[in-house]
């Protein structure tokens, strides 16, 4: 079947003639270490299928999965078990906690299979449980916790083993909006310190823009566009991505440094490059200015005008 796919047979024809489905095709993603790589798309796009390839819960028909120079597909069973124990942890959408184990026992699970001694396990569990505000709930069972609390347990169970890679498959999708936002903030706060390589699956563009250092958009098992959040908003590759991003509040997302004009302004007013478009407009209005120079790392990198800032927000 692989030969037929490579020769260009359509997915529909492959399904109708041979009863085979192409789940993913021509996926090539370079995920930098210590950042949050978001993979997003609508239901059925192949997001969860893709993330499950990284730790080989699913094996691809062909290709390679390279982590720190080593092909995960070439690992022997023992190597793969160690990869899952020590290198890559996973957080699932449905929490996947052990219902018959307490909070403390759930967090301790990965540490036990790493063969850590009980004293060290107790110390690590206590630290993580306190860190996410679950102190006092150590002996509670999952059914006694709210959804947000359960997902915090799932998150720290994955982090307690100190993996290099954290795989998060729609980890916050089942949560109410306010709890979801709180979990996003917890993750970002932890990431500032831990600097893990996180692969985060979502169908929500707002969540992708808030969390992602880099975003990949999937459609029908194929990669449509990848890049930094601001690049995708400013330069959507096709009508699909344009439609996907059309309702985003551009003023709150896009930073001045991404739209700066190279010419310097005659204005004596200076704005930091990290300001969002919305913040820059408000600042210029309050200062009664129509233009400003833009500063980054103590150097002027260009200029902006109120007119250009407004055009960025209104652009479709």
Task: Please tell me the distance from the alpha carbon of residue 255 to that of residue 262, in angstroms, as a whole number.
Answer: 15
pLDDT at 315 over 80: no
Cα–Cα distance for residue pair 263/276, rounded to 1 Å: 20
pLDDT confidence of residue 57: 95
Q: Counting beta carbons within 10 angstroms of the beta carbon of residue 235, is it exposed (0 to 12), middle (13 to 18) or buried (19 or more)?
A: exposed
Determine the average pLDDT of the residues in 221-228: 94
**Rg, Å, the chain Cα set:** 23
Nearest to 106 by CA among 51, 144, 58: 144
- The owner of tokens 């990284």 is 54
* CATH 3.40.50.300 domain position(s) in the chain: 23-248
Give the pLDDT of residue 16. 65
- Residue intervals of the chain classified under CATH 3.10.580.10 are 252-314
CA-CA distance, 89 to 167, in Å (whole number)?
6
Architecture of domain 252-314: Roll (3.10)
- As a whole number of Å, the end-to-end CA separation of the chain is 42
- CATH class for domain 23-248? alpha beta
**pLDDT, tens digit, for every residue of 244-284?**
888 888 898 899 999 999 888 788 899 999 999 999 999 99
Provide the Cα torsion 149, 150, 154, 157; round to 10°: 70
Q: Indicate the SS3 state at residue 97.
A: coil
pTM recorded for the entire structure? 0.86
Instruction: Quick: pLDDT tens for 77-113.
Output: 999 999 999 999 999 887 789 999 999 999 999 999 9
């Amino acid at each position: 079947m692989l030969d037929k796919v490579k020769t260009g047979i359509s997915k529909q024809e492959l399904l109708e003639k041979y009863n085979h489905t192409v789940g993913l095709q021509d996926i090539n993603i370079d995920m930098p270490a210590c950042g949050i790589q978001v993979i997003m798309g609508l239901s059925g796009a192949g997001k969860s299928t893709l993330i499950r390839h990284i730790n080989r819960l699913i094996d691809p028909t062909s290709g390679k999965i390279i982590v720190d120079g080593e092909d995960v597909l070439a690992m022997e069973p023992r190597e793969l078990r160690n990869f899952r124990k020590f290198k890559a942890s996973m957080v699932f959408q449905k929490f996947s906690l052990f219902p018959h184990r307490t909070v403390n026992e759930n967090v301790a699970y990965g540490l036990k299979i790493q063969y850590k001694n009980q004293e060290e396990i107790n110390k690590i569990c206590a630290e993580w449980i306190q860190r996410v505000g679950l102190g006092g709930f150590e002996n509670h069972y999952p059914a006694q916790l709210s959804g947000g609390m359960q997902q915090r347990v799932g998150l720290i169970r994955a982090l307690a083993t100190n993996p290099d890679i954290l795989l998060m498959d729609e980890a916050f999708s089942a949560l109410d909006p306010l709890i979801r936002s709180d979990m996003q903030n917890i993750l970002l706060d932890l990431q500032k310190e831990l600097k893990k390589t996180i692969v985060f699956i979502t169908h929500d563009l707002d969540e992708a823009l808030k969390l992602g250092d880099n975003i990949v958009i999937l459609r029908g098992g194929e990669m449509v566009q990848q890049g930094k959040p601001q690049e995708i908003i400013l330069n959507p590759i096709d009508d699909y991505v344009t439609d996907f991003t059309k309702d985003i509040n551009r003023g709150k997302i896009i930073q001045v440094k991404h739209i700066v004009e190279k010419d310097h302004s005659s204005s004596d007013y200076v704005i930091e490059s990290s300001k969002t478009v919305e913040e820059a407009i408000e600042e210029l209005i309050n200062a009664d200015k129509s233009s400003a120079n833009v500063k980054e790392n103590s150097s002027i990198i260009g200029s902006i005008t109120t007119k250009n800032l407004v055009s960025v927000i209104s652009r479709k």
